[in-house]
């Protein structure tokens, strides 16, 4: 099913572009934010949306304002948070009664969790992080996760063990402290882009397919628990 280009209004700011993609009979909807270096139409984002659609999950991808302008420097948190909230509101209007989730790749996932920590995103039942950026490369720390203690809905962390932006030991500690709300799914040898070396005998597409099955199951399970 093709993605439908849409425009997402942001109160007090310029609107941003979005892509709405829904299978014939969706079971849930995920508001999917892009990472710092590539926008909503990047092949990895498109593959994620396509894979989730095949699993019965609708998605709304969207641009952060800096990406909409063609800039390279990410938006300051308040601007990014406003975009997250606007995208969630748009998805809620389109998804109807579907269970709603939010998250995204790297920077997009972190901005979504920050927004949720500051004030709950209306109607969102859980957060899904594709490669949460716990710290800058080469500077291990868990300070970026401090705000997650204020998140009161389920969280799923999908992370590679060779991710330069998330020391596995530190991330395990974060998830343990957030239990039982947080779940960690590690991918052996995968980097921040979920690329795995050829020596593993696995292909990146297979890794992504496995992650998407886990993400879809998380959303359906959370829906069942809430119901």
The CA-based angle 119-221-217, given to 5 degrees, is 105
pLDDT in tens, 52-88: 999 999 999 999 999 999 999 999 999 999 999 999 9
Beta bridge partners of 124: 100
- CATH fold of 4-226 reads Rossmann fold (3.40.50)
Indicate the range of 25-29, 181-185, 218-222 predicted with least confidence: 218-222
> b/e string for 25-35 if b means 16 or more Cβ within 10 A?
ebebbbbbbbb
Average pLDDT on 12-37 reads 96
Q: Would you state the pLDDT for residue 227?
A: 47
Q: Would you state the pLDDT for residue 223?
A: 55
Q: Where are the alpha helices (DSSP H) in 105-203?
A: 107-118, 168-178
Domain boundaries, the chain: 4-226
pLDDT in tens, 101-135: 999 999 999 999 999 999 999 999 999 999 999 99
> Residue holding tokens 């720390």?
141
* pLDDT over 70 (residue 165): yes
Question: In this structure, how many other beta carbons lie within 10 angstroms of the beta carbon of residue 77?
Answer: 14
Average pLDDT, the chain: 95
Q: What's the whole-model pTM score? A: 0.95
Residue 146 CA, distance from chain mean position:
18
Residue 152 CA, distance from chain mean position:
17
Average pLDDT on 153-177 reads 97
- What is the strand order of the sheet 182-187 is part of? 4-10, 13-21, 57-62, 28-33, 100-105, 124-130, 155-160, 182-187
């Amino acid at each position: 099913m093709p993605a439908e280009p849409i425009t997402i209004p942001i109160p007090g700011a310029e609107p941003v572009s979005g892509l709405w993609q829904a299978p014939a009979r969706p079971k849930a909807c995920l508001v999917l934010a892009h990472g710092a270096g590539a926008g909503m139409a990047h092949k990895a984002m498109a593959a994620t949306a396509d894979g989730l659609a095949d699993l019965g999950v609708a998605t709304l991808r969207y641009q952060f304002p800096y990406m909409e302008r063609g800039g390279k420097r990410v938006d300051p948190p308040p601007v990014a948070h406003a975009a997250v909230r606007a995208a969630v509101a748009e998805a809620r209007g389109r998804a109807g009664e579907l269970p709603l989730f939010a998250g995204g790749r790297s920077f997009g996932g972190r901005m979504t969790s920050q927004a949720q920590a500051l004030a709950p995103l209306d109607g969102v039942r859980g957060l899904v992080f594709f490669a949460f950026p716990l710290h800058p490369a080469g500077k291990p720390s868990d300070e970026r996760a401090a705000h997650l203690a204020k998140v009161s809905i389920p969280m799923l962390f999908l992370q590679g063990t060779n991710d330069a932006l998330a020391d596995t030991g530190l991330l395990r500690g974060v998830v343990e402290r957030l239990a039982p709300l947080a779940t960690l799914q590690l991918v052996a040898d995968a980097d921040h882009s979920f690329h795995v070396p050829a020596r593993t005998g696995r292909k990146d597409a297979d890794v992504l397919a496995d992650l998407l099955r886990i993400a879809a199951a998380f959303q359906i399970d959370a829906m069942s628990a809430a119901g």
